[in-house]
Structure formats: structure tokens, C-alpha cells
Amino acid sequence: MVESATPLREDVTASTALVVTASYDAAADEVLRSLRQMQMPAFRLNTDEFPVRVRTSFLPEKGLTLTVDGKTLQGSFVRSVWYRRHVEPALPPGLDEGVRDFCEREARAFLDGALGCLPAQRWMSHPAAVAQAERKPYQLAIASELGFRIPRTLITNDSQMLTTIAAERELVAKAVSSGYVASERGNRAIFTSALSTEDLEKLNGLELSPVIFQERIPKLADIRVTVVASKVFAAEILSQEDESSAVDWRATTDPELPHRVHTLPEEIAGLCRRLVSHLGLAFGAIDLALQPDGQYVFFEINPNGEWLWLEDKLGFPIADTIAEWLSRKSQ
């Protein structure tokens, strides 16, 4: 018998968890492993493989259909969605730049629109809520309104206003969005950085893009809080033990930067839960600073922040907690 080169179609007909992510996402691997152990049907959509390796259709009266490697999911069977990440598709090389840009925009517009129509009972988290929560001016305002301490903050492209506040306090600068820059010279991350006198004397280009400027917060440690629905996992990152991580722990050059489990005061844990809920999210990775006086200061929330390294270092059962939440039948 000659084996067909095209895999036979296999329809998914049970209540399913849809995981929207990328092909290289190790955190998604762990959650899918947990879902299999719970015998919860799951379907993985790698956004970098869409649309080249994914066949799809959408009918307004019937909804979304996805086929990946011969396995087909009807949107009507989706019970829960983990909207983990959306990355640009891996389109064929050699495309005209304008055509590539058009295809990327069309793919993103289709997925965002079609996924938003899924009849899922549970979202971690809905794309519209994720998009809103990622906006740092908005999240800072909401965090302050809910009762978090936040650094004194100015977001501006006005060098005169910046010079005025810089005379009063030591400042750090950070990107308004992700701080990720892709260019022909390579990709790089822009971390939160302390501003020197020399930096303040060279503000050419500030008018091209607003920047977040904040007072530099003295800290004993950075606190990374991962909220999964009502569960809170707090990690203490001893960032002040390494000069490279003193301002931004992500910039560390020490692969063994010390971490330990941190017990948050219930008031702060409650604020973290309220912030995630207020933003319409079911998950949030929150960055706080623990000051020498014992106070906590809010820096930012990432609605799809990384957490797998915390499982590895501290044993937090975050993958199992996400999978358990996705598998529940009720709200």
C-alpha cells in the first residue's frame, strides 16, 4: 500500500482548550503536557506558522475552522483559550517588503477578528484585554488608582520638561512599549537604564518618540509576582547583588542570579489580584520593587509575561495551575 503524503483529516469533536502561541514556546509545551495528563483535549495554534502551515476558514454564521497537520478544530468546540502570544508569521524569503507587510497585517487582522468570535467560556486572556493592558501609561494609572505605590513618573518627548524634573531627583528611562528593537544590524532589547548627567546633555531625538522617565527607586530586591486567576506566586530576585542587574534585573550578566520564594503581605497580594481582574485578565506577571523600608512599589504588568524559569528555579506549579484553570467547566 502506498502511504498518502497528505495526512488524513482528524476532526476534534470534544470540548477543547485552544493554545495560541509560537512554535518555540517552551512554556506552552509544559502547559500542554499538563493538559494531556488531565486528559483535557487541546489544540495548539502556532502563530508563526500561520498562514503558511495552517489552513483556516471563517463563516460568520458558523465561526472559525483551523486545520494543522491534518487535525481540524471547529471553533464551536473551543471551551477555553490560552492566548499566550502572537508573533509574526514565517513567510517565504524573497517577498517584496510591501507584500510581506501586507500579508503580516492581513494574517493578524484575520486571527484577531476570528478568535474574538470563539464561544469560549474562559479566556487567559482575551486579545482585546491583553492589548489594552500592555499599554504602560494605562496600567500605571490603573495601578495607582487601585492603591499601589508607583514611582514618580513622566512620559514625554519634551526635553525641557525632562530637564526640569531631572534637577530634582535621580531618574531611570524605559520604553513605552516592549523595548525590543529589530534592525538589519541585529535584534536587541532596551532595558530600564539609569540616566547620567551626560545622557541628559544629549537628548537629541527625544522629540521622535516619548520615553518613560521615573524616579530611581532604592530596592532591597525585585519581586516578580505571577498571578494565575486567584493564585499568586511571588519570587524574590536578589538583583542588588549584581551590578549589572541593579537597575533592571533582566539585564543581569549572572546566569545564577539568586532567586527565592517570597511571601507577599496579603494586602499586596490582594492588590495584585485586583489589578489583574480590573484589567480583564486571567493572568499577569507583575514587577514590583521591595524597598529598604519594607514598602512595595509597582513598576509594570505584562499580561503574558514569562514564568517558566521560576518553575525551574523555585518549583512554582504555574504550568499545572494554568492547565487546571483551562480545563474547568465553570466560570
- Each residue's pLDDT, cut to its tens digit, for the chain (331 residues) gives 333 344 445 666 678 999 999 999 999 999 999 999 999 999 999 999 999 999 999 999 999 999 999 999 999 999 999 999 999 999 999 999 999 999 999 999 999 999 999 999 999 999 999 999 999 999 999 999 999 999 999 999 998 888 888 888 899 999 998 766 555 565 667 789 888 877 777 777 788 889 999 999 999 999 999 999 999 999 999 999 888 888 888 888 888 999 999 999 999 999 999 999 999 999 999 999 999 999 999 999 999 999 999 999 999 999 999 999 999 875 5
pLDDT of residue 43: 97
Instruction: Report strand pairing: 231-237 vs 259-261.
Output: antiparallel
How is residue 105 written as a grid cell?
497585517
3-state secondary structure 275-288: HHHHCCCCEEEEEE
How is residue 3 written as a grid cell?
502511504
Do the domain assignments include residue 68? Answer: yes
Do the domain assignments include residue 314? Answer: no
CA distance 182 to 262: 35
Same domain, 16 and 98: yes
Same domain, 293 and 184: no
Question: Residue 189: enclosing H or E segment and its boundaries?
Answer: strand 188-189
Same domain, 243 and 291: yes
How is residue 102 written as a grid cell?
501586507
Same domain, 133 and 261: yes
How many domains are contained in the chain? 3
pLDDT of residue 290: 98
Among 216, 231, 254, the domain boundary falls at: 216
How is residue 85 written as a grid cell?
502570544
Same domain, 47 and 60: yes
Among 176, 194, 216, the domain boundary falls at: 216
Do the domain assignments include residue 159? Answer: yes
- Which residue range is the domain that position 163 belongs to? 152-216
Do the domain assignments include residue 309? Answer: no
Same domain, 235 and 267: yes
Do the domain assignments include residue 324? Answer: no
Do the domain assignments include residue 313? Answer: no
Do the domain assignments include residue 158? Answer: yes
CA distance 304 to 281: 10
pLDDT of residue 8: 46
pLDDT of residue 98: 96
Q: What CATH code is carried by the domain that includes residue 197?
A: 3.30.1490
pLDDT of residue 3: 37
Crossing angle of helices 26-37 and 318-327, rounded to 10°: 60
Long-range pairs of 54-60 with CB within 8 A, sequence gap ≥ 24:
56/110, 56/114, 58/110, 58/114, 58/117
Same domain, 165 and 205: yes
Phi and psi, residue 217, nearest 5°: -95, 125
Same domain, 137 and 224: yes
CA distance 98 to 290: 47
Q: What does the angle CA 293 – CA 298 – CA 304 come to, to the nearest 5 degrees? A: 140
Same domain, 279 and 142: yes
Q: What CATH code is carried by the domain that includes residue 55?
A: 3.40.50
pTM for the whole structure? 0.90
pLDDT of residue 2: 35
How is residue 123 written as a grid cell?
479566556
Among 201, 216, 231, the domain boundary falls at: 216
pLDDT of residue 61: 92
pLDDT of residue 65: 96
Q: Is the dihedral of CA 135, 140, 141, 147 positive or negative?
A: positive
> What is the average pLDDT score of the chain?
91
